Amino acid sequence: MPAPRSLLRIAMDRVFGPFFVGKLLANVGIWIFNIATVILVFDSTGSPLLVGLVSVMLFAPQVLLVTVSGAVADRANRKVQLLAGRLLCTAGTLAIWLLLWVGGESPPTWAVMAAVATVGVGFTVGGPAMQAMLPSLVRPGETPKAVALDNFSFAIGRAFGPAVGGVMAVTVGLTWAFGVSTVLHVVFGVVVATLPSGDHPRDAADDVSIRAGLAYVASRPAIAAVLLGVAAIGIGADPAITLAPSLASQVGGGADLVGTFASAFGLGAFVAFFPQSLLTRRLGSERLASLGLLCMAAGAVVLIVATATWVAVLAFGLAGVGMTISLTALGTELYARVPGAFRGRVMALWLLGFLGSRPLAAGLNGVLADVLSVGAALAATAVLVLGAAWACRPLVLREPPSGIEPGASGSATT
């Protein structure tokens, strides 16, 4: 087997390279959409609860449908499934753009929520297929580096997408923000359409049911712990969206500060990508998983007592660092343990945890912020993430991997 290529060479590969760039642009578009939507709803209603409902509508389809989507990904053409998901995402963002273009600055909230739900269904349809096909886009032994680059594209989206969305909201307007988001979704859809159609998992397993996938996870405590940790990352990341408008208002800021808070989280996630390889070599992914979760919990605690804008920005940045560290470590652990026959269903549970936990977190944060205080919502976030850090402690994750990906527990060095 040839030696794995460097991160740069993999990023420039004729197959993985366009996928990487296209997904990076789509991630920027997703966060432009997220920030633009919460600004639109907050400006129209002034309610943190309805802002939280945006995340509920975006991610609730994950809870209802993603396991079915994962089972389909283990028996059908993953490329076609991913393309269908991108078309739905494009339709949802385009719908809000049309509502603003035709109906003015305050479209009906129910129509906005319906469009957001359409985007959520698109994520649900395409998400498991996209994650499951990742190893097929690179050579054997290169999956850890593909995971690192995949998380890097997500971090770029978190770092720059919210800022772009916030700046566009206060300069050229929300209509342009949703228009740009739509175009970026279209670009990634075109890239997906050009991918090779070689990832056909049909007949890869005797039983491709959802129940078989759940039984597989239940019999492997380390995989179950990884999935719990991923759910905690989704919970720990939610304040950067749901609570950002309220926190910005408390310190005298507006829409631009909402984008700044979310971008601080994303910038922290972006910066953490660079020492990740060194940290993995020194500490191992099983230690980094819990360390990253501890950073996210610490960020929430600092936000409770923050009274200055710069302190809040640093706290969001710390939480972002924790997200990248834990997400990459947990992803590396998971791909090392799960064979291709179960990958669609297990990655569906991954998405159910990472994205599907957001409706619960957003709803809880919105209710606690409305009824009690923003501090109470942040305290609940910190407690939940700390519990997951304990569940993902190294003693649990040291269970020997049984996956098929060589080197998946190693570092993603350049």
How much is the pLDDT for 1? 58
Given a cut of 70, whether residue 244 has pLDDT beyond it is yes
Cβ-Cβ contacts under 8 Å for 173 (sequence gap 6 or more):
none
pTM of the model: 0.74
Q: In the predicted model, what is the mean pLDDT of the chain?
A: 82
Q: What is the pLDDT of residue 358?
A: 75
What average pLDDT does range 369-377 have in this prediction? 84
Residue that the structure tokens 């999956």 belong to: 143
User: pLDDT higher for 337 or 38?
Assistant: 38
- For the stretch 47-106, pLDDT in tens is 777 887 887 888 778 778 888 888 888 787 888 889 999 999 999 999 999 998 887 777
CB 51 within 8 A of CB 41: yes
The backbone torsions φ and ψ at residue 5, rounded to the nearest 5 degrees and listed phi first, read -75, 165
What's the Cα-to-Cα distance from 244 to each of 29, 202, 238, 271, 377, rounded to whole Å?
A: 19, 44, 9, 21, 12
The set of residues, in sequence order, having a beta carbon less than 8 Å from that of 282 and lying 6+ positions away, is: none
163-183 confidence digits (pLDDT tens): 788 888 888 888 999 999 999
One-letter amino acid at 171 equals: T
Residues, the chain = 414
Domains of the chain, residue spans: 7-194+208-397
pLDDT digits (tens, 9 = 90+) for 221-233: 888 888 999 999 9
Question: What pLDDT is stored for residue 337 in this prediction?
Answer: 77
Q: List CB contacts of 27: < 8 A, sequence separation 6 or more.
A: 153, 154, 156, 157, 158, 161
Rounded (5°) CA angle 327-85-142: 40
Assess whether pLDDT exceeds 90 at residue 141: no
pLDDT the model gives residue 178: 93
Could you read off the pLDDT of 117-133 as tens digits, one per residue? 999 999 889 888 888 88
Higher pLDDT, 400 or 251: 251
- CATH 1.20.1250.20, domain 7-194+208-397, yes or no: yes
Confidence of residue 406 (pLDDT cuts 50, 70, 90): very low
